[in-house]
Structure 1
Amino acid sequence: MSKVKYYYDPDTLSYRKIEPKKSRRYRNIGLFVLGSFLFGLLSLVLLLNTNLINTPAELSLRREVKNYELQFELLNKKMEQIEDVLSNIEERDNNIYRLYFEANPIPEEQRRAGFGGVNRYKSLEGFNNSEMVIATTKRLDIIKKQMAIQSKSLDEITKLAEEKEKLLLAIPAIQPISNKELTRMASGYGWRSDPFTKARKMHWGMDFTAPKGTPIYASGDGKVTRADNNASGYGKHIRIDHGYGYMSLYAHMSAYNVKRGQRVKRGDLIGFVGSTGRSEAPHLHYEVWKDKDRINPINFYYGSLSPQEFENMLKYANQENQSLD
């Protein structure tokens, strides 16, 4: 209830009631309404920026953000597991696979390198969770790069393994005449007495004494480059190119079982023992070449002899006796 105000009128010697002007009344009403509006607006703004009042859309957005945060947390845990597995594969790759196949290890800084140059994550900046999103994206990009490097490395290892397998099959690694059909190992690689001149002469292969017609086997995978009687002293002979710089030669044969240009596998029957060419008796003269140099064949029998058999062969091969060719 508004208070009634009076003033003293000296003319009438009495108190008279003060009547407010209409303009002032309207102004007061206007100020009150404006003040109420501003107060209400300020209160609404404050309430909207607190958790006290949320619209259904805001509540839905908050739940969605919380769900995304949870998904990012789960994603980071999965990335930790992937990083552990990748680390294990990389360790085996460098210390076992690449070492075995004589390939250089991949440097750690190359595997873990980030991405330089232009800012790849600028579009992710300016949001409430930008730091988390950018960190996760960077981590994921590095993992993808690691996986790409590892994939290329395993492709290289696969190729090296295939080449290694081919190399192991190509090396002349077995005795060209079976032990059960061998009379004896007559002469080894080194200086020997020539059967015709009796002079001391370098013997570039190994002589295996065996009856005429005894099977002769390819000592490694390869391609027959010669099967003829056109080389001095060798008589009927076969040469097999094994690749990787290796070549084997089989001389003084009585007959062929292969022809020039034919591909053979280790253990394939290629011909038969004879005494053609410069030969004193039926035997196989066997040579191994590496990069066009003749080397001692005795170092290549790991694929067919037992330790005791190899020891006996080594003893006979080192005797400076007379060769058969």
Structure 2
Amino acid sequence: MKDVKYIYNPKTCQYERARLTWRDIVLTGFGILFTATLLFIGIVVLHNRFVTSDYERQLRAENKLLKEHKPVLMENLNEIETTLQKLKSEEKDLYTKLFNTTPPSEKNVAASLSKEKVLLADAGDFQSMLETLKGRSDALYDRTTDSHAATRPISEQDLAMMLSLPSILPIQNLEAEKLVSGFGKRVNPFHKGMYLHPGVDFIATRGTEVVATAPGEVNDINKNELQAGYGNSIVIDHGHGMSTRYAHLETITVRPGQKVTKGMVIGTVGSTGGSVAPHLHYEVIRDGEHVDPSLYFIEGITSRQHHQLLERNKQSNQSLD
């Protein structure tokens, strides 16, 4: 039998059975709810503290791996970005040199996978990003494979022809300002009339080394004491209809029939023959016709230097021979 609570009523001078009030009910309910809440929180804390599920252990292991590999991933991403920027710069320079114009502007396409997004991703998102990157990599590989398959491979003969092009400057570390007279109609320094200047003139001090602009064979050497013509000059046959001439030399260090390589020293700058100052007169001959040598200067210089050479080459002035 439950205990019954009685209270003394001074008005009736009797003990009467106690009745529950709303205040007692509310306080009792809050007390029970507060006690249950504290008990539930304690159970949850103890469970999280001492009980670990298989899924939690897996997540902790993944977080540890991501934390350890994050610096490596960041370093790799930085290297990739640096390489991409370098390739874009080199591609721009090559396009400018080959086509004598600035490359078309690229469309601004927002990258869906930024570096920050990858590094801040959780385990699930990180796995999804890896799958996305793998898909894009496979698609890029397929595109490049199709592109190469549709392109005719370069034959050995074509490759040899490309390697025979006189693509470097005949004087190493040459500044663009040293090109003082270009290809085309110029004023003759002797009779002051207009004539076709078949090459370009590079001013330099006596004794400056002159190099072969492409591999080939020395076809002709001319040594002339007369104050006219090319003076001491060399003609190198590069094959495939290409040859180059180096005139007004002080000394010649090669012999007829000798094989030369690109960048090999073949003589020094002088002022022999019909020359008014020490300089190198350089010509490019293709299939028996003189062509503009400045169009072939693409190796070992920047696009800015190439543009400067082209601008200097266009100036109509007096030649040095």
Conserved in 2, the CA contact under 8 Å of 1:219 and 1:267?
A: yes
Partner of residue 213, structure 2: 219
Return the letter of the residue paired with 2:266: I
Q: Does 2:202 align with 1:208? A: yes
Q: Does 2:241 align with 1:186? A: no
Partner of residue 254, structure 1: 250
Conserved in 2, the CA contact under 8 Å of 1:173 and 1:302?
A: yes
How far does residue 179 in structure 1 lie from its aligned partner after superposition? Answer: 2.9
How far does residue 180 in structure 1 lie from its aligned partner after superposition? Answer: 4.4
Matched ranges for 1:169-180 at <5 A = 169-180=163-174
Measured at CA, do residues 286 and 318 of structure 1 come closer, stay the same or move farther in structure 2, by a change above 3 Å?
A: same
User: What SS class does the counterpart of residue 166 from structure 2 fall into?
Assistant: coil
Conserved in 2, the CA contact under 8 Å of 1:189 and 1:297?
A: yes
Measured at CA, do residues 259 and 279 of structure 1 come closer, stay the same or move farther in structure 2, by a change above 3 Å?
A: same
Measured at CA, do residues 181 and 302 of structure 1 come closer, stay the same or move farther in structure 2, by a change above 3 Å?
A: closer
How far does residue 279 in structure 1 lie from its aligned partner after superposition? Answer: 0.4
Matched ranges for 1:265-280 at <5 A = 265-280=261-276
Conserved in 1, the CA contact under 8 Å of 2:176 and 2:305?
A: no
Larger Rg: 1
Partner of residue 83, structure 2: none
How far does residue 210 in structure 1 lie from its aligned partner after superposition? Answer: 0.2
What is the CA deviation profile of residues 282-304 of structure 1, one whole-angstrom value per residue up to 9, with x for unaligned ones? 00000000000000001101112
Q: Once superposed, what is the RMSD of the aligned Cα atoms? A: 2.4
Return the letter of the residue paired with 2:161: L
Measured at CA, do residues 212 and 181 of structure 1 come closer, stay the same or move farther in structure 2, by a change above 3 Å?
A: farther
Identity %: 39
Partner of residue 168, structure 1: 162
Q: Does 2:312 align with 1:316? A: yes
Partner of residue 95, structure 1: 150
Measured at CA, do residues 217 and 277 of structure 1 come closer, stay the same or move farther in structure 2, by a change above 3 Å?
A: same
How far does residue 277 in structure 1 lie from its aligned partner after superposition? Answer: 0.5
Stretches of structure 2 that go unaligned for 5 or more consecutive residues are 1-142
What is the CA deviation profile of residues 11-62 of structure 1, one whole-angstrom value per residue up to 9, with x for unaligned ones? xxxxxxxxxxxxxxxxxxxxxxxxxxxxxxxxxxxxxxxxxxxxxxxxxxxx
Q: Distance in 2 between matches of 1:91 and 1:312?
A: 39
Conserved in 1, the CA contact under 8 Å of 2:176 and 2:308?
A: no
Conserved in 2, the CA contact under 8 Å of 1:213 and 1:254?
A: yes
Partner of residue 56, structure 1: none
Conserved in 1, the CA contact under 8 Å of 2:177 and 2:312?
A: no
User: What SS class does the counterpart of residue 267 from structure 1 fall into?
Assistant: coil
How far does residue 91 in structure 1 lie from its aligned partner after superposition? Answer: 6.5
Q: Distance in 1 between matches of 2:254 and 2:165?
A: 19
Partner of residue 282, structure 2: 286
Partner of residue 302, structure 1: 298
Return the letter of the residue paired with 2:278: P
Matched ranges for 1:232-243 at <5 A = 233-243=229-239
How far does residue 323 in structure 1 lie from its aligned partner after superposition? Answer: 0.1
How far does residue 193 in structure 1 lie from its aligned partner after superposition? Answer: 0.6
Conserved in 2, the CA contact under 8 Å of 1:183 and 1:210?
A: no
Return the letter of the residue paired with 1:305: I
User: What SS class does the counterpart of residue 179 from structure 1 fall into?
Assistant: coil
How far does residue 167 in structure 1 lie from its aligned partner after superposition? Answer: 1.8
User: What SS class does the counterpart of residue 237 from structure 2 fall into?
Assistant: strand
Q: Distance in 2 between matches of 1:206 and 1:267?
A: 18
